[in-house]
Structure 1
Amino acid sequence: MADGFCLDLLGPLTVRYGRVPLSAGPIRQQAMLAVMALHANQVTSAEQLLDLVWDENPPSSGLRVIPTYVYRIRQTLPPEVALERTTGGYVLRLPPGALDIDRFESAVKAAEQAKDPSLYRDALALFRGEPLSGLPGNYLAGQRRRLTERRDDALSERLGLELSAGRFADVVPELSALVAERPLDERFAAQLMTALFQSGRRAEALETYARTRSLLVDELGVEPGQGLQAVHQLLLRDLAEPAGGRDELPYSGATFIGRTAELESVVKALTPGTRGAPPVVAIDGMAGLGKTALAVQAGRRVAAQYPDGQLFVDLHGHTPGREPLGVDHAVDHLLRGIGVPAEKLPCDPAEREALWRSETAGLRLLIVLDNAPDTRAILPLLPGAPTCAVLVTSRRQLSSLDSSLRLGLDLLAEDEAAALLTELAGAERVAAGDAVDELIELCGRLPLALRIAGSRLRHRPSWPVAHLNERLRARLLTELSGETDGVGPAFAVSYEQLSADQQLMFRRLSLMPGKDIDRYSAAALAGMTSTTAEDVLESLVDASLLLQPRPGRFEFHDLLRKYSAQVMTTDDQGSEAISSLLQYYVRTARRSAAHHHDLLPEDCDHLDADDPDVSQDLAWADAERANLVAAVQLSEREGHDELTVPLTIAVAPYLHLRTRQDELDVVLTAGLAAAQRSGNSAGEARLLFLRGHIGQFRCGPAHGVCDLRRAAELATGEAPALQSHILGSLGYTVGSLDLHSDWPDLLRESLRLAQLADDQRATVSTLGHLAALHARQWNFAVALEYYEQALSMARTLGDERLEPNLLNGMAGCHLDAGNAHPALQAARTAQELAATHALEFPLSYALCHLGEAYRQLGWHAQAVETHRRALEIAVDNCTYLDEVDARLNLGRSLLTHNCRDQAEDQYQLVLRLCEDRQYPLGIAQALVGLADCRESLQPGEAHKLLLRALAAVSDGVHPVLAGRLQDRLAAATSGRSA
């Protein structure tokens, strides 16, 4: 933030712009600024500010002092930093990174993820002394203590990383100073003892413990904590006993890349136990993640703490061609590892296990149990002595094992995967670029796959990375096979150990259309009940063959999905499974759609007893959105036209509601293709209606009229309700294009058909269209009558989601008639209902009307703020007309607020948008706005703009606007003549 605004609290409060310091005012003003900064981008009430800044001694003026201080603070801030007054209080809006506390926390987070001491140093360098030094008040004193503790935490983490890297002598001077400065902080004392001891200064290490213990006892009356005592005991043991014992840890390969955080957590957890039991660490995850390599690396790191030996047993839980190692054989191996001769081994298995626990009672051993099949194979092998440690690896989640740390190993990070490839194949072969990124993606960031790919490149110097990628795309699992193992064989062992139900589910999941799935969709694929399906899915997660990114959702790793598809070729029920899944989606999507849109209500299928309840809110559709889109595409690709059409009809309005316009285009294209291919004229009419109706609001009326006309032709003879919806939308669209068109006849017919079908929703919709077009003709009394009639009917139906659009229309009528107060009430109610039901489109218009009401009432700052919020929502909606309307309103409020240049920017944007889409009404409105901006300074230029605006609407697009422009031009001409 060197080039922008900075507010620094990690020391004396300073305010600067770039490198130029700004005055922060007297101490009490600084205190208020600090409080606001600590609550940045949050509303703080005046009462809170008074309490936090003045504590128990507020000034006699009480709350009246707050605005004065706020005004003074505003004077010190640059324009891009807003200190705003809201209905709830005050909010200081800081740009990202402006506050040094935020920069510190971001830097610490990056350091934690990277385990990089230098990043911790960068973070700590932001402290310029005592945080908030010199500022009064109990609140700021508490924040000072909090920030000091955060600094010490980061400092301790950094020093811990230095010690882990073996830089013992380097950190002794710094730790010595810290211990002298903070003699009661046991963290730094323990770290200094470790650094001194490992540097050969053993007497000083023990002296540090004695001195710290004496201070704790004398000043606080307490003994040192477990952490400091554990370090002391470890030093004493290392002094008393020479290292020795058997080392069975295997060779872990020449390359071990990444896993820094995981390695540190395992090493930390393997510290000799202080809880009366040995530390037990379990590492689990899917095949090929490098669990054994991580375990061996961690074992090497802690070997010195277990001088009586490091024992390693491969339990062969998932070894191709081998049965798991029996407990008897494993115990025998462990007993021989600690020197018990074969002739002394009892015959009885229980006695052998007892002997194992007895012989390890006084030893310091590290036992690595690799490739464990399950918890039952591990329990008899656990020693009882807290001086021992156990490290277990397994493909299964050993959730029933009483472990001090369970580490679910994940895929390599992208940078770690790239580093591994570079190490294996050479930097000259694996230069950064798209081909390497694709190779990492094809290998799924799985270490086993990356090692095989790297080996291929190393031994085939003529192969470019792109060539290997081409081979992988053609036959992924076959290519990722080594001489002795490979990805496919590793997965095959896990698959073969599954039960019949688990294998069936594993295979069928390859057919899921999207990335993830829930238990209901999985049940439809596998032909099970949802309860059984959930149990099977959870068991596949336990077996590390399935991921669970969040509760209730399941997905494959990419390579496992490839393997699942490979074994699915042996299942001849794939087509039936897909059909069952699509039928499930049609049932539930229809039921969900009936509760969140009214564009095309149709009979809902009866849900099966096992289907989920999707009637309450949009949660189901939100969770399944990507799957529903993929299901439509799958349905069309597989030739299920009879399912593609109803599924598209149910899904499309939801995607419009959630402003997923690209996905909406995809499903409508697929649905229309299916309808046309199957000769489903009614379905094609419905889909053309959806595309045309939604299209006119997205891109303007000209973009929907052709689809709506074709839909009307196809719907002739179909259900009256369908015809009513189509004709209603068509009438509104042609009326929006030309008020001299036949829109009244179309809307009257739409209303007749709706009443014939007794479809009250269609009636409400058509009444709304009639009202909107009468309002455009300035017939506000007629328009309001239609709106009131539609609103009354909507409330009779009891569906609040129908109300916001109608209330918005009423607000617009009142505003155009100059009646701000009833408009304000209608817009506020529309805003509340739209927000309650998450209706983004009506919310944008409600805020536009609310802001215009504020403007007409003279509340100009509120008008600008409200119109900015409307524009944010409109842009997020990706709907062209919403954006045009919001920018026009924002331009008007900015101009009224004397922000002429900003207003002109908004009108210029609207002009470009409308010219691109050939929307004459928007062009005219933008030109009128530009004329308003220039009228006082450039009257001649304003006159030309008004003439252009008149030309844009002179063909019946908006007769009322054309008439008003003619009157305005005539008055201007008359004024100049006079």
Structure 2
Amino acid sequence: MPASGEKFAQLLTEALYQIRLRESKPLQVIQDELGYAMGRNGGSVIDYWRRGNLPTKLADLEQLTRTLQQRGVHDQRWIEAFLTAGGYPPAQTLIQPVVASKVLDPNLPKRYRQLVGRDSLVRQVLQHLGDREGYWVIAIDGMGGIGKTALAMDLMQRFVAQQPEYRPIWISAEPQQGGGILPNQPLTFDSLITNLARQLALADVAQLSVEEKFQRLQQVLKHQPILLVLDNLETSGEPQQVLLEKLRPLLQPSKVILTSRQRFKGEVFSVHLIGLEAEQAALFIRQDASEKGVQWLQQASLDDLQPIIKATGGSPLAMKLVVSQLASLPLDLVLQHVQSVTQLNPGDEDAYVRFYMFLFQRSWTLLELSAKQLLVSLARFVPSNGCDWRAMQQISALPAAELAHSIDMLWKLSLLELNEGEHFGQLRYYLHPLTQHFVLSEIAQVL
């Protein structure tokens, strides 16, 4: 492919939008940051290149490519096409240096939003993770939607950056995701160690007994420590405490982060996650409002936001749902409905479920029919796994324009989550487990 200003501009724009999705920043801010990183006065040079003008110096093209890669653009095919379109003669000679930084395993979830309000907790947990004589198990418990998975994801990425000798491995205990070993089956210790053995590329795993897999893993992990995250353990096929005790002999120096709605016992560093404090909750609300375009919330004072924080208990998911509704409903009405439900009580799971079900119901009434039908269809997929655009077209049978509109509506109401697909520029669409629970228990029975 010869050099092409039009193609170069298209690829550059794709990269900018991917960064915007990952970091939840305005496009102009991203352009300015890239420009400053290249030693320029802001993003005017980025905007110039986006209009189809090619960099006149190969050094600028190299620096731009590396800067984009530092912001998460790792797809090798995209980089090669970008360099070629920009007129870099032997594109392949620059590919390897550009992608030299570590790219996490594709099984690992990706984080698009900065973790808000947990800085002190993150520092404390990282200190324990980094202590070779300290705790080998970090156990995070709390209600669904309180931010356990987001915290575990942040800890994993920070720890691996600090301790590169540790290999990160992420496994969800949700059915169909128990390592991807047994479809429709919850996680067991057998499927867990089978997953670990396969991810560590141990030969002839399928032919080994549970004891043999375990012994092989013990040998390997003495020389290749891992940071294992086991997410959503309350959904596992064995009691979470039993799984933990069976797993302990594989630790030291390897470490594990566990998340569950249920508390853990024994020799663990326990983190009981609750709602965000007022100032952090306000920051979270403003960030989500900026992302969803609810302008009047973006500049709201802490005093103005206190009613929302109090009504939601500082729960990130609850605040997202309320912010989404405030894009089209007055604050007094939303708060009136929220406050009519039993107050969020960290010790009362039933009250908590009723609280979320009520919030979801309000969002449901704001949806158009096509978006409702799409949401019900998406409930067929595994939570936190989801599907791609093609699968959504097949299950919804909606024209492309109507499907895009429905997706946008669900996303704005925080009923749909987005994640990066296997290749650069692709996306996967999925439901939070609580959203799926609401759909299946309250909506599917009616439609």
TM-score by length of 1: 0.23
* Bigger RCO of structures 1 and 2 (CA < 8 A, at least 6 apart): 2
| Greater C-alpha Rg | 1
